[in-house]
């Protein structure tokens, strides 16, 4: 068992029905919870579910770009090869979340 401080979290993601945490030190840990359960436990002022497979922390966002089909692409301030795309369904809520964070 490993304890990770909330301020050290960059994002959560799901892959092949397994949930993971990525930290600022680029360490990945498996978490025995679904993203739905994780989302319920997180402070919504700091974390936002951008799509079915990813929850990001507000301080991890480096840049935001327009993307295909009226979505947004996010650069996360970590050297990783993962795309972070805000789904069309969540764009409006995401923009409100950004302004309030």
Domains and CATH numbers, the chain: 6-100 (2.40.50.1020)
| pTM of the complete model | 0.92
pLDDT value of residue 101 = 83
Tokens representing 56 are 């990001």
pLDDT value of residue 79 = 61
Residue where the block lists tokens 């960059």: 10
Q: Span 64-70, mean pLDDT?
A: 94
pLDDT value of residue 33 = 95
- Residue 38: pLDDT band with limits 50, 70, 90: very high
Instruction: Tell me the CA end-to-end span of the chain in Å, nearest whole number.
Output: 31
């Amino acid at each position: 068992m490993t304890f990770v401080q909330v301020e050290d979290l960059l994002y959560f993601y799901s892959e092949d029905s397994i949930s993971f945490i990525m930290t600022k030190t680029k360490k990945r840990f498996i978490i025995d919870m679904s993203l739905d359960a994780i989302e319920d436990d997180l402070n919504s002022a700091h974390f936002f579910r951008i799509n079915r497979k990813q929850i990001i922390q507000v301080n991890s966002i480096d840049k935001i770009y327009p993307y295909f089909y009226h979505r947004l692409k996010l650069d996360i301030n970590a050297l990783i090869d993962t795309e972070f795309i805000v789904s069309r369904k969540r764009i409006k809520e995401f923009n409100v979340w950004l302004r309030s964070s």
